[in-house]
Amino acid sequence: MADLRPALFLDRDGVINVDKGYVSRIEDFEWIDGAVETIAAFNKRGWFVFVTTNQSGIARNYYTEADMQVLHEWMQSELAKAGAHIDRIYYCPYHEAGENPAYRKDSYDRKPKPGMLLHAMSDFPVKRELSFMIGDKEADMQAARAAGVAGFLFSGGNLAQFAEWTLASFEEGNRG
């Protein structure tokens, strides 16, 4: 069995990028200050870095999964320029009120449910008790708790400063 490693779970819109509402195009994507540095720093520590993001814009017919994949591939290429990477981006395209019938359903992967986090912990050798999530909504915190990891609410500013403070606080016993 592979050695267990801690994981940093990040929401996307509002944590990694400025939330402009249903961001699906490269030209609309704007990194949050410190986001690239945060991912690089946790990569260097040997942590897994995962993104768990609700993408109901797909269910609402605002954009397609292919559009989102193009954006996520671009994000990874931009991170690579800084020597950083996201180990996997988990997304939930479903919404119970979606316009697109193929995506109109309740899903265990849609936060506040923990499905995406649990998938990551099943797909990778994650040390759950040393892992935490940074999100910008209460649904992120609920998903983290339901998955058995600490959750910390990011309300803006520099993500690198927040993540370093969060890590120090977490190491001192704060579990969100």
Annotated binding residue 20? yes
Annotated binding residue 137? yes
Annotated binding residue 53? yes
Annotated binding residue 63? no
The residue behind tokens 């890590």 is: 167
Neighbours of 130 (CB within 10 A): 15
Q: Of residues 3, 11, 28, 140, which has the active-site annotation?
A: 11
Annotated binding residue 122? no
Annotated binding residue 38? no
Q: Of residues 13, 87, 109, 140, which has the active-site annotation?
A: 13
Annotated binding residue 55? yes
7, 129 contact by CB (below 8 A): no
For residue 109, indicate whether it is catalytic. Answer: no
For residue 11, indicate whether it is catalytic. Answer: yes
Binding site for substrate: residue ranges?
11-13, 19-22, 53-56, 110-111, 137
Binding-site residues for Mg(2+) sit at 11, 13, 136-137
Which residues carry out catalysis? 11, 13
Q: List the binding residues.
A: 11-13, 19-22, 53-56, 92, 110-111, 136-137
Binding site for Zn(2+), by residue number, is 92
